[in-house]
Chains A and B, each alone.
Chain A
Amino acid sequence: MRRFLRPGHDPVRERLKRDLFQFNKTVEHGFPHQPSALGYSPFLRLMAIGTRSGAIKLYGAPGVEFMGLHEENNTVMQIHFIPDQCQLVTLLDDNSLHLWTLKQHSGTSELREEHRFTLKGPPGSPPSATQITAVLAHSSREVLYLGTESGNIFVVELPSFRVLEDRTITSEAVQQRLPEDYCNRRSCELVEALREHPKNPDQILIGYSRGFIVLWDLQNNKVTHHFLGSQQLENLYWQRDGSKFISCHYDGSYTQWPVSSDNRQPEPLENIVPYGPFPCKAISKIYWQTTKNGLPYIIFQGGMPRASYGDRHSISVVHGSQQTAFDFTSRVIDFFIIFSSEPTAEFDDPSAMVVLAEEELVVIDLKTAGWPAVHPPYLASLHCSAITCSHHVSNIPLKLWERIISAGSKQNIHYSNMPWPIDGGTNIAPDPPQRDLLLTGHEDGTVRFWDASGVCLHLLYKLSTVRVFLTDADPNDNMNTLGEDEWPPLRKVGTFDPYSDDPRLGIQKIYLCKYSGYLAVAGTAGQVLVMELNDEDAEHVVDHAEADLLQDQEGYRWKGHEKLKTRDGPVRFEAGFQPFVLVQCQPPAVVTSLALHSEWKLVAFGTSHGFGLFDHQQKRLVFVKCTLHPSDQLALEGPLSRVKSLKKSLRQSFRRIRRSRVSSRKRRGGSGNTSEVQEANAKFDQEALQEMELAPVQRKIEARSAEDSFTGFVRTLYFADTFLRDSSRHCPSLWAGTNGGTVYAFCLRVPPAERRMDEPVRAEQAKEIQLMHRAPVVGILVLDGRSTPLPEPLEVAHDLSKSPDMQGSHQLLVVSEEQFKVFTLPKVSSKLKLKLTALEGCRVRKVTVANFGSCKTDDYSENDLAVLTNLGDIQIISLPFLKLQIRYPCIRKEDVSGIASCVFTKYGQGFYLISPSEFERFSLSTKWLVEPRCIVDLPEVTSNNHVHNKSGMENAVRKSRSLGDYGEDESKSGRLMEHALLNDEKVLKEIQSTLEGGR
Chain B
Amino acid sequence: EFRRFSLERSKPGKFEEFYGLLQHVHKIPNVDVLVGYTDIHGDLLPINNDDNYHKAVSTANPLLRIFIQRKEDADYSAFGTDTMTRKKNVLSNVLRPDNHKKKPHIVISMPQDFRPVSSIIDVDILPETHRRVRLYKYGTDKPLGFYIRDGSSVRVTPHGLEKVPGIFISRLVPGGLAQSTGLLAVNDEVLEVNGIEVSGKSLDQVTDMMIANSRNLIITVRPANQRNNVVRNSRTSGSSGQSTESSLPSSTPNILANFLQEEESDEDIVIEDSGEPQQIPKAAPTSESLESLTQIELLHEATQNGFLPSDEMNLNHSAGSISMEYEVQDPEHKSLEEDGTIITL
Contacts and interface: CB of A to CB of B under 8 A. Distances in A.
A binds B: yes
B293 to A, nearest CB: 8
B95 interface: no
Contacts of A697: 149-150, 203
B309 to A, nearest CB: 30
A766 B283 contact: no
B317 interface: no
A699 B209 CA distance: 12
Contacts of A176: none
A870 B143 CA distance: 26
Interface in B139-170: 140, 143-152, 170
B282 interface: yes
A841 B209 contact: yes
A698 B206 contact: no
B220 to A, nearest CB: 15
B144 A701 contact: yes
Interface string A689-722: 1001100111111111111000000000000000
Contacts of A698: 147-149, 170-171
A697 B282 CA distance: 40
A871 interface: yes
Contacts of A827: 293
B144 A772 contact: no
B211 A829 contact: no
Contact of A699 (B149, B217, B266, B280): B149
Interface string A783-826: 00000000000000000000000000000000000110101100
B215 A773 contact: yes
Interface in A546-596: none
A837 interface: yes
Interface stretch (B13-21, B51-59, B226-234, B270-278): B270-278
B211 A769 contact: no
A699 B148 contact: yes
A829 B279 CA distance: 9
Given A775-B212, A830-B280, A701 B268 contact: no
B264 to A, nearest CB: 10
B280 A837 contact: no
Contacts of B212: 773, 775, 818-819, 835, 837-838
Nearest to B190: A701
A830 B282 contact: yes
Contact of B283 (A703, A725, A829, A838): A829
B126 interface: no
Choose among A698, A818, A840, A841 the residue with the greatest number of B CB atoms under 10 Å from its CB: A841
B282 A770 contact: no
B210 interface: yes
Given A689-B152, A830-B280, A830-B283, A699 B207 contact: yes
Contacts of B198: 841
A375 interface: no
A842 B208 CA distance: 7
Given A1-B257, A768-B271, A772-B268, A701 B283 contact: no
A725 B273 CA distance: 9
A771 interface: yes
A403 interface: no
B163 to A, nearest CB: 8
Nearest to B171: A698
Nearest to B178: A701
A4 interface: yes
A838 B214 CA distance: 9
A767 B147 contact: no
A772 B266 contact: yes
A928 to B, nearest CB: 32
Nearest to A772: B266
A170 interface: no
A655 to B, nearest CB: 19
Given A698-B171, A703-B137, A768 B274 contact: yes
A839 interface: yes
A705 B140 contact: yes
Given A703-B137, A703-B140, A696 B149 contact: yes
B152 to A, nearest CB: 7
B269 A769 contact: yes
Interface in B249-291: 256-257, 260, 266-274, 277, 280-283
Nearest to A747: B273
Interface in A755-778: 765-773, 775
A769 B280 CA distance: 9
A813 to B, nearest CB: 14
A4 B260 contact: yes
A841 B201 contact: yes
A283 to B, nearest CB: 52
Choose among B194, B206, B207, B268 the residue with the greatest number of A CB atoms under 10 Å from its CB: B268
A771 B267 CA distance: 8
Choose among B171, B266, B280 the residue with the greatest number of A CB atoms under 10 Å from its CB: B280
A843 B206 CA distance: 11
A696 B211 contact: no
A841 B205 contact: yes
Contacts of B143: 702
Contacts of B171: 698
B204 interface: yes
A821 B293 CA distance: 21
B213 interface: yes
Nearest to A841: B205
Contacts of A870: 204, 208
Given A830-B282, A999-B207, 7 more contacts: A701-B211, A769-B280, A770-B269, A772-B215, A828-B272, A843-B208, A870-B204
Interface of A: 1, 4, 689, 692-693, 696-707, 725, 765-773, 775, 818-819, 821, 823-824, 827-831, 835, 837-843, 870-871, 893, 999
5 smallest CB-CB distances across A and B, nearest first, come from A841-B205, A703-B214, A837-B212, A829-B283, A699-B207
14 contacts: A692-B150, A697-B149, A697-B203, A699-B148, A699-B206, A701-B214, A703-B137, A823-B283, A830-B268, A837-B209, A837-B212, A839-B209, A841-B205, A843-B208
